[in-house]
Amino acid sequence: MYAAESQFGKSADAKIMSAPILPIENMHVTTLPPTLDGTEGSNRARGVVRQTAADTDVEAIRLWLSEYANSPHTLRNYRKEAVRLLFWATQVQNKALSSLNREDLLAYEAFLTQPSADWIAPALPRRGGGRRLLDGPLSASSVRQAMGILSGLFGYLVQAGYLAGNPLALRRQRGGVKNSRRATVERYLEHSLWQTVLDFIETLPQETNRECQHYERVRWLFRLLYGASLRVSEVAQAKSSDLMQRRGKWWLLVVGKGGTEGDVPISEQLITDLARYRLFYGLSAMPSALENTPLVMSVAGRTDKFLTPTAVYLVVKEVFLRAATFIETSNPSGASTLRRASTHWLRHTSATHQADAGNDIRYIQKNLRHASIETTAIYLHAEDDRRHAETTGESHK
């Protein structure tokens, strides 16, 4: 999480460029002046029994983020949105976060769709103290997601007795939300395109030891993400001891969103792929019951170091982009799809292919660890296929 020191004598654009961005975990309450640190915020709750000792906005945000310490992927997303708002409030609006009202949040929402050039300066790095906070204007769906996360932040701080009210509670839900579920389900690879990706992986260079390491990691990582329907944070933290056998069948214990545990059936083919990956690193084909080596090892192949979710994402994204270039001439439509694809597409692809194979929707729900079967139902495309065939007459050909 990041925040910035204020530069009150300069323009808003100059402030953004010159103010250093500091990790919020290392910030002291003196980093921001009293007028901006939230101690006297106009939306601070007064005369209530407080559930937190936090007395500044930074401390309050730290408390909120600590609730997600066991969910790395969620933590990163929430931290990103909180830093953007804190930075915008103090450096653009010249207000404490705890002084923001509904009008301010409307202005922030508009700002995300049309950020100033300084916020998206290509010369600034994507990471680190002087990084840029946006890669470009946010899409409507990304803005909805950001404001939803921030509404959760404000609501939490109201319940904690830190804020008097949630300025986003008044926000009207846009009609586009109704279509977001449909948009999500389209993010998967057709069977033929998935096979194309697997075929491309086999073309990766394997001349040097480093190239062989990369090839074996990519080969295993893609099969694991797909075969176990995992989220990027789940595959990053998966370890050998999470594998277990019941009645001679292999299962993978998964800790998902909110620390919820579930188990996923693992095929014999995936176990064979795991054995190949481990043997490449000189390990036994199958791990012992107490072995805690990562299921996907670090870039250097260390058995005591896990890949980060970001590293997993970047590896997968790179392969998709290279595969897209590889098939550009022969399959331009498929290449366009692969350029948009990311790690989560493999989870959607797995679920869709399970549904296409006629798997019971209740089993797919358990494999994906969905709380509601309605969420799982979006992967059922077979009925759409039949309706299309009957309507167009193609079923009679």
Sequence length of the chain is 397
Q: What is the pLDDT of residue 120?
A: 74
Distance CA(162)–CA(43), nearest Å, equals: 9
Q: What is the pLDDT of residue 130?
A: 52
Q: What is the pLDDT of residue 176?
A: 45
First and final CA of the chain: distance in angstroms? 59
Report if residue 229 sits inside a domain: yes
Q: What is the pLDDT of residue 3?
A: 35
Please, what's the b/e burial string for 311-335 (b: 16 or more CB within 10 A of its CB; e: otherwise)? Answer: ebbebbeebbeebbebbeeebeebb
Q: Which two tokens stand for residue 328?
A: 């550009």
177 in helix, strand or coil? helix
268 shares a domain with 153:
no
Q: What is the pLDDT of residue 192?
A: 94
Of 165, 6, 131, 146, the C-alpha closest to 85 is: 146
Q: Taking a C-beta distance cutoff of 8 angstroms, is the pair 60, 38 a contact?
A: yes
223 shares a domain with 355:
yes
Torsional sign, CA 326, 329, 332, 336: positive
- Is 0.75 topped by the overall pTM? no
- Residues serving a catalytic function are 231, 257, 344, 347, 370, 379
H-type helices in 171-306, by residue range?
Answer: 180-185, 191-201, 209-227, 232-237, 268-280
364 shares a domain with 216:
yes
* Crossing angle for the helix pair 343-356 and 309-326, to the nearest 10 degrees: 70
Report if residue 180 sits inside a domain: no
Q: What is the pLDDT of residue 177?
A: 43
Report if residue 179 sits inside a domain: no
Distance CA(253)–CA(242), nearest Å, equals: 5
Q: How many domains, in total, are found in the chain?
A: 2
Q: What is the pLDDT of residues 136-187, one digit of tens each?
A: 888 888 888 888 889 889 989 999 999 999 998 877 655 444 444 444 456 8
Q: Which two tokens stand for residue 83?
A: 């830093």
363 shares a domain with 331:
yes
Q: What is the pLDDT of residue 2?
A: 35
189 shares a domain with 168:
no
Could you say which residues of the chain have pLDDT below 50? 1-30, 125, 175-184
Q: Estimate to the nearest angstrom the gap between the alpha carbon of 364 and the chain centroid.
A: 21
What is the domain extent for residue 143? 2-172
Q: What is the pLDDT of residue 354?
A: 85
Q: What is the pLDDT of residue 72?
A: 78
Q: What is the pLDDT of residue 394?
A: 61
